[in-house]
Structure 1
Amino acid sequence: MKRLLEAELIYGRLLDIAEPHLIARYNKALKGFGLPETKLDRFSIDMTGFSPDVAAELDDWDYLDPKKVNRRFVIMTPDQENLPVVHTSFSNTAGLMHEFYLANRRAITAVTIKDALYGEIEDSVAEVKSLEDLLSINEVRFRVLSAEDLLGKAGELRALADRLTTVPDAWRDDAMLNRMVELAKSTGDIRQNALVPDKLVFRHESFWADHFGGVYIFSDERTITVICDPDAPGFRRSRPWQVSYISINDHARIYEFLARSGRIELPRASWVDASGLYRHRADMALQSLIARLEPQADFERIDPIWTQTFLHRNADAVMAEGTYPFLAGIQKTIAQTGSIRMDEVAPERRFSLLRADPAHPDMWLTNRLIAQLVPQDFVSRFVFDKQGFYRSYEDFPENFRAHVVSVLTGAYLKDKKAFRKRLYGIGDDINA
């Protein structure tokens, strides 16, 4: 992973924490979770407060994600809202955190001047043992505490202020008045500064969960669709009257569901030509073949002549695998006719021709599923399914790893918004 770290393709764009008072607040949050304090004098954090440095020190990469449910968070500054989430078991963690920041920005800004917020995104289950546990999560509640107990002090001061204005002769209670003055030294004037977050409950809609090999849960108005390994506990047994179950290996049914629910854009020349998606995926398929058939190849020296020679030299293997010639033929068909008859395409080939409908709320989740089903496209895998990309990267030949990093830093990181807009039709988004 050294190349990925140096290129900021893993744990990139994190916030550096080095000030002693911030480290002290972070340690109080860790102590509040029952965890050991960090002895580091500098570390970086993501949107949720997760630090790969602290995780390595504790030798616990799930220290903020115990049992992969009820995610913990530590908010040191409102600037964390603009950071990525680099370690999570639910695809919508970033979305939920953004909603929390947006709904409580004034309180977060006020509190983090003097304190740090920490707590848990509480689900309705303490541990995921079957699909039913995931299906039972309909909403989450943010349980919020503060490292210096600023929230507790603000709550106490508000209660005393209410008593002062509602209880006759309360103003004669010198002990109460002295306590109010003492509390106000920490909290300031709570009539002007809203210190307590007031929106804590948020809906848990469609999401991917890192359980049982990965589970996709798509929520529609009247139905829920689960796509995962059919060996997952509870498959076809949890709420069969309400939930539709599809095996991750059943490409025909997955395609039918995505098309019927309006989550994908079917091939049309209007977007295919402008996006260059098919050319991109053909290149990805070819590069994957080169890595598999000639792992010692110097990718920096590959040019059209070398490629043509490779295709002739490995003609049988290229045709047997089939993806590259299939996409080459599809591009010709689109150029000539402007469309593709999807019922004439083998189900396992269809996903290389698809992208999520950019107007659908589930576009990122749908693109994640498509990326998983088109694993040769390592760029799309990195954009939408980083966990899957990192696992695949470990199996790449060394030469190919260097090439992958070069492609991602050159083609994607230079202008992510423009790249996503062109290939996938989407602009900036919270999951980026």
Structure 2
Amino acid sequence: MVSPAHKPDLLRDNELIYGRLLPVDEPHLVERYNKALAAFGLKPTKLKSFDIDRTGFSPQVAEECGDYDYLDPNGVNRRFIILTPSQIDLPVVHTAFSNTSQLMFEFMTKNQRAINALTIKDVIYGEIEDSVSEVNDIEDLLSINQVEFKVLSAEDVLGKAAELGKLVDRLKQEPDAWRNDAMLNRMVELAKVCGDIRENALVPDQVIFRHNAFWTSHFGGLYVFIDPDVTTVISDPSAPGFRRSRPWQVSYLSIRDAESVFKFLASTGRIELPRASWVETSGYLEHRAEMVIRDLIRKSEPDRNLTEVDKVWLQTWIHGHAELINKDGAFPFLNAAKREIKQFGQIRIDEVFPQQRFLLVRARPDHPDAWLTNRLISDFVPSDFISRYVFNKQGFYRDYEGYSEAWRSHVVDMLKTTYLKDKIALRSRLYGLTD
């Protein structure tokens, strides 16, 4: 995974990296966070204030200890620290698996009462435990079918609640238990810590969750899609175990093979083919065309100041660079596709060059894998930095490293005025997504 340790302040200042995190600046919360770090065998932070994401990851703590994987040491069995139930509304900004955010959300949703009660007095921490301790090849990834949240608390409120529950059961079931002064005194001690466990659900109800389709940073980036009869792996063929792990159950596609990847997405109903019903109302092809032109400007004039660029300037640039645009081919292709869709309502996708097909499609919005599919599509359309940022931040940050200072400023300005201005509206209009 690309480490964000030295990203320019431009991204941070505009909340394009580590945005919407939760400030931790109250001494008792900092102290609780340090207790969780100590339980993981890590040094306590000396910071008086820092920010955390949904999992408890802090970019400031990561910088302080010089390790962005301090909560993710082997890229599996992700650690988490929960100081407050409000973490459920935060993003996950550093992870080796794309579904970490969803797993944390499900855990916090299913165990809301326990988390609310526990975090009043304690910090919750633990691991999202997979069935493997480290990932050496694709088989290790495929063996992860479910995860279990191993939950602990610094003051052992969880353990004390469990002990109190057992003593309450003894009191109810053993006729002479009420005569046992030592037991009753112990119950009083425990109740001072746990409160009335009949009212406070201190023990999480559900800790096991299914590990569904995902992207992982392992082996340079790898996708796993799960269908009833087959699991599909899409990665670089150099990944260890490619086409060797469970070939009778697993289909392996090279991420360099645009045709095979596209056929997989289309045949499994994960994408919307270009049809007038959504293309004309979304402005999707116009968006793609503009991104193509802006990328050509970047490649041909990387240091150009684009602060004052508007639609008129872009049109003038297009007229003045017809040879470059025709040689690239993407812009004329998109214009021809628009005309064909307007005339016939759809396009003959089989007649389109495989790489260019990804310019025309989006994930089917109602499919459970919509976000993951849009992420995969963005790998084939790197010119669209807005789609890259929305669905594939690791890829976007990697691209950003190679941009000139002028282009970085332009990209930040574009994201601010398009996506950050109204995220929900842009996702709805371009991608049909409502969440």
Asked if TM exceeds 0.5, the reply is: yes
Distance 2:351 2:229 in 1: 31
Are 2:81 and 1:74 equivalent residues in the alignment? yes
Check conservation: 1:252, 1:347, Cα contact below 8 A. Answer: yes
Residue 4 of structure 1: how far off its partner (Å): 0.6
2:19 counterpart of 1:12? yes
CA distance in 2, matches of 1:302, 1:192: 61
For 2:237, the aligned partner's letter is P
* Secondary structure, aligned partner of 1:159: helix
Q: Could you say which residue in structure 1 is the equivalent of 2:126?
A: 119
What's the CA shift for 1:309?
4.3
User: Within 5 Å, which residues of 2 pair with 1:254-269?
Assistant: 254-269=261-276
Partner in structure 1 of residue 194 of structure 2 = 187
Of 339, 363, 367, 1:356 maps to 363
> What amino acid does structure 2 have at the position aligned with 1:296?
D
Q: Which stretch shows the higher mean deviation, 90-99 or 297-306?
A: 297-306
Distance in 2 between residues matched to 1:108 and 1:60, nearest whole Å: 28
Within 5 A, what are the aligned runs for 1:33-112? 33-112=40-119
Distance 1:302 1:21 in 2: 50
Which among 239, 243, 249 is matched to residue 242 of structure 1?
249
Secondary structure at 2:74 match in 1? helix
Q: 1:134 is matched with which residue?
A: 141
What SS is found at the alignment partner of 2:152?
strand
User: Helix, strand or coil: the match of 2:421?
Assistant: helix
Question: How far is 1:295 from its partner?
Answer: 1.4
How far apart, in 2, do the equivalents of 1:99 and 1:59 lie?
A: 30
Shift of 1:297: 1.7
- 2:4 alignment counterpart: none
Q: CA deviation at 1:304?
A: 4.6
Paired residues of 1:25 and 1:148 also in contact (CA < 8 A): no
Distance 2:309 2:125 in 1: 51
Provide the aligned length of Structure 1 versus Structure 2: 428
TM-superposed CA distance for 1:86, in Å, is 0.4
Deviations 1:206-261 (A, max 9, x none): 11111001110000011100000000000000000000000000010101100000
Query: For residue 28 of structure 1, what is the aligned residue in structure 2?
Result: 35
The alpha-carbon deviation at position 317 of structure 1 amounts to 2.6
Give, as a single letter, the amino acid of the residue that structure 2 aligns with 1:106.
R
Q: In 1, Cα distance between the equivalents of 2:232 and 2:312?
A: 47
2:392 is aligned to 385
- Within 2, Cα distance between the matches of 1:306 and 1:191? 68
**Counterpart in the other structure of 2:326:** 319
Aligned match of 2:290: 283
Q: CA deviation at 1:46?
A: 0.4
The Cα offsets for residues 263-307 of structure 1, whole Å up to 9 and x where unpaired, read as 000000110011111111111111011011011222123345543
Q: Distance in 2 between matches of 1:361 and 1:238?
A: 25
Matched, 1:366 2:386: no
SS in 2 for 1:16: strand
Question: Cα offset for 1:174?
Answer: 1.3
Q: 1:308 and 1:141 mapped to 2: Cα distance? A: 55
1:125, CA displacement in angstroms? 0.4
Displacement after TM superposition at 1:56 (Å): 0.5
SS at match of 1:67: coil
User: Letter of the aligned partner of 2:51 in structure 1?
Assistant: S
Letter paired with 2:151: V
RMSD over aligned Cα, in angstroms?
1.1
Structure 1 stretch displaced more, 73-82 or 332-341: 332-341
> Are the equivalent residues in 2 in contact too, given 1:26–1:147 (CA < 8 A)?
no
Secondary structure of the 1:399 match is helix
Paired AA for residue 404 in structure 1? V
Checking the alignment, whether the CA contact within 8 Å between 1:107 and 1:194 is kept in structure 2 is yes
Whether the 8 Å CA contact 1:356–1:367 is kept in 2: the answer is yes
Once the two structures are superposed, what CA deviation does each residue of 1:39-94 show, in whole Å capped at 9, x if it has no partner? 10001100000000100111010000111001000011110000000000101011
Following superposition, the deviation at residue 153 of structure 1 comes to 1.1
Which residue of structure 2 lines up, in the alignment, with residue 273 of structure 1?
Answer: 280
Provide the C-alpha distance between the structure 2 equivalents of 1:246 and 1:304, rounded to a whole number of angstroms: 40
Corresponding residue for residue 160 of structure 1: 167
* Alpha-carbon offset, residue 313 of structure 1: 4.2
The aligned counterpart of 2:214 is 207
Moved more, 258-267 or 316-325: 316-325
For residues 255 and 280 of structure 1, what CA distance do their matches in structure 2 show? Answer: 21
Q: Aligned partners of 1:44 and 1:303: how far apart in 2?
A: 37
Q: Provide the residue aligned with 1:338 in structure 2.
A: 345
SS at match of 1:31: helix
Choose which of 302, 309, 312 in structure 2 pairs with 1:302. Answer: 309
* Aligned twin of 2:3: none
Shift of 1:337: 2.1
**In the aligned structure 2, how far is the partner of 1:411 from the partner of 1:289?**
20
State the TM-score, normalizing by the size of structure 1.
Answer: 0.97
Q: What TM-score does the superposition give when structure 2 sets the normalisation length?
A: 0.97
Q: Which runs of 5+ in 1 are unaligned?
A: none
Supply the AA of the counterpart residue of 1:137: I
Percent of residue pairs identical: 61
Question: Please, which moves more after superposition, 151-160 or 81-90?
Answer: 151-160
